[in-house]
């Protein structure tokens, strides 16, 4: 079961500059572990210390956001395309705005 994993520029320094990986994994969580095994340090950029997906990281299987599918347990099948994309955010001049708690508007 081989999946294509697209790695965006901000995370490539943790994958030895690879923009694309082809890996076998049963779920998205397994996939992150598999990448971590080959590229130590990668998982920490994607998961928090509780092993949950970081707030500013989005993972898509094909066109579907895994937060609205099975999370890290989302199953993968042969030929799936996985995109790991750090969010793009910012704010106006409001120092009071908490940086770590964006309200997902949906």
Partner 1 sequence: MNDSAGLLLTAAQMREIIAHCRSERPNEACGLLAGRGGRVLRVYPARNAERSPQSFLIHPDDQLRAMSEMERDGLEFTAVYHSHPTSDAVPSHRDIQLATYPEALNLIVSLKREPVVCRAYRIVGGHQSEVPLAIEKEAPDVRSK
Q: Which candidate, 37, 24, 102, places its Cα nearest to that of 14?
A: 37
CA distance 82 to 5: 5
The C-alpha angle with vertex 104 and arms to 12 and 39, in degrees rounded to 5, equals: 20
101 binds partner 1 (CB under 8 A): no
**Least distance to Zn ion from the beta carbon of 73, Å?**
36
Q: Can you tell me the distance from the alpha carbon of 102 to that of 59, in angstroms, rounded to the nearest whole number?
A: 17
What would the x/- binding string for Zn ion be over residues 31 to 70, using CB under 5 A?
Answer: ----------------------------------------
Q: In angstroms, what is the minimal distance from the CB of 8 to partner 1? A: 7
Residues in contact with 62: Cβ distance below 8 Å, sequence separation at least 6, in sequence order: 80, 81
Q: Which of 17, 50, 68, 90 binds Zn ion (CB under 5 A)?
A: 90
> Smallest distance, Å, CB 96 to Zn ion?
15
Q: Which residue has the tokens 């599918």?
A: 69
By CB under 8 A, is residue 83 in contact with partner 1? yes
- Contact residues toward partner 1 (CB under 8 A) are 6, 8-10, 56, 58, 60, 63, 65, 83, 85-95, 97, 99, 102-106
């Amino acid at each position: 079961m081989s999946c294509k994993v697209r790695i965006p520029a901000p995370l490539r320094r943790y994958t030895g500059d690879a923009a694309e990986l082809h890996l076998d994994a049963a779920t998205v969580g397994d996939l992150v572990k598999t990448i971590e095994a080959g590229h130590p340090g990668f998982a920490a950029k994607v998961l928090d210390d509780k092993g949950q997906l970081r707030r500013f990281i989005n993972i898509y299987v094909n066109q579907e956001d895994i937060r609205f599918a099975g999370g890290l347990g989302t199953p993968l099948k042969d030929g799936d395309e996985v995109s790991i994309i750090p969010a793009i955010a910012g704010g106006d001049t409001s120092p009071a705005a908490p940086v770590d708690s964006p309200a997902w508007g949906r």
